[in-house]
């Protein structure tokens, strides 16, 4: 049966501009980072913070995030790294291969260190950055489209993604596949809207929003893993990242329930009479003096 409609794939992941070559995967990462910084900065400044801290967190968080993301990919997909057959293969991020789990872990740890050194609330900043992280993950997925990688199972749906023969691996007999990059992009954008709405409508005990972000992302990522057909370690029929998603979803959801509804604030966390008490979901504090939210 001839397909009447499908999503085409770029035949090259690079654009040549004279002596320069632009890798679209890297460009998508830059756009993702810029969008995350913009959204985080807007939220942080509205809460009384300043842009300087956002930029410093971005510099260190992105640097360590890329290191962590590549390290996770190298550890869990070493066969793909070896296939490049070059000494620089473990560092070849422009060819794809960034594990979101390692990126978030290293990036959050580096960012938390910067925020703590500045004297501001790590928990509050985690909630400020949560929607931005999810936005960055969605935009970054377009890099997979340019590289024709990490697509899903074969399908003939009208929105199927056409993949060139050179990128089909052992599925050479099929031409179109599930566009998992597009599924995640849409899912992440919906998640950003939900997180912003929840933060606006409800009074959260920080960093409850960050926990919700992890729960939302891992819930969708589990089902995405059921569609993906790229090489991965499997245990009892499930891909490794599916198990990671399950564990992270359970831990983050349990933390959110305990932190938001069960745990009682300690004496140090209760607002003193001299403090400016937050009004509504945002923090009504003087600029430059961001205090911990509930």
pLDDT of residue 4: 59
Average per-residue pLDDT for the chain: 86
| Residue 161, H or E segment | strand 161-162
* pLDDT tens readout for residues 100-126: 888 889 999 999 999 999 999 999 999
* pLDDT tens readout for residues 146-194: 999 999 999 999 999 999 999 999 999 999 999 999 999 999 999 999 9
Between the alpha carbon of residue 283 and those of residues 38, 39, 124, 133, 192, the distances in Å are 19, 17, 9, 21, 20
Q: For residue 180, how many C-alpha atoms fall within 13 Å in the half-sphere facing its CB?
A: 20
Contact call for residues 44 and 54 (beta carbons, < 8 A): yes
* pLDDT tens readout for residues 226-251: 999 998 889 999 999 999 999 999 99
pLDDT of residue 72: 81
Report percent pLDDT > 90 for the chain: 67
The Cα 76–Cα 3 span in angstroms is: 36
Residue 261 has pLDDT above 70, yes or no: yes
Residue 293 has pLDDT above 70, yes or no: no
Reported as a pLDDT band with limits 50, 70 and 90, residue 7 is very high
Contacts of residue 139, Cβ cutoff 8 Å, sequence gap at least 6: 28, 31, 32, 35, 185
Torsion sign, CA atoms 283, 285, 289, 294 = negative
The Cα 157–Cα 138 span in angstroms is: 22
pLDDT of residue 97: 67
* pLDDT tens readout for residues 49-83: 999 999 999 999 999 988 888 888 777 776 666 66
């Amino acid at each position: 049966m001839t397909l009447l409609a499908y999503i085409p794939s770029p035949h090259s992941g690079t654009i040549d501009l004279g002596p320069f070559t632009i890798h679209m995967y890297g460009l998508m990462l830059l756009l993702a980072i810029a969008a995350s910084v913009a959204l985080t900065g807007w939220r942080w400044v509205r809460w009384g913070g300043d842009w300087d801290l956002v930029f410093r967190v971005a510099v260190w968080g992105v640097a360590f995030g890329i290191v962590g993301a590549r390290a996770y990919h190298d550890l869990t997909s070493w066969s793909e790294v070896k296939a490049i057959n070059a000494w620089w293969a473990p560092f070849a991020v422009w060819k794809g291969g960034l594990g979101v789990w390692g990126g978030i872990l290293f990036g959050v740890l580096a960012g938390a260190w910067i925020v703590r050194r500045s004297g501001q609330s790590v928990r509050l900043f985690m909630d400020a950055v949560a929607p931005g992280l999810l936005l960055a993950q969605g935009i970054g997925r377009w890099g997979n489209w340019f590289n024709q990688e990490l697509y899903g199972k074969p399908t003939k749906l009208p929105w199927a993604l056409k993949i060139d023969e050179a990128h089909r691996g052992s599925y050479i007999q099929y031409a179109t596949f599930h566009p998992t990059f597009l599924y995640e992009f849409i899912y992440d954008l919906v998640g950003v809207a939900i997180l912003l709405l929840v933060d606006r409508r409800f009074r959260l005990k920080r960093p409850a929003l960050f926990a919700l972000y992890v729960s939302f992302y891992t819930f969708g990522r589990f089902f995405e893993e059921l569609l993906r057909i790229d090489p991965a370690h499997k245990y009892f029929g499930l891909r490794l990242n599916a198990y990671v998603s399950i564990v992270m979803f359970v831990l983050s959801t349990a933390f959110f329930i305990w932190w938001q509804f069960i745990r009682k604030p300690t004496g140090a966390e209760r607002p003193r009479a001299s403090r400016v008490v937050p009004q509504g979901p945002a923090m009504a504090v003087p600029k430059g003096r961001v205090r911990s939210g509930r």
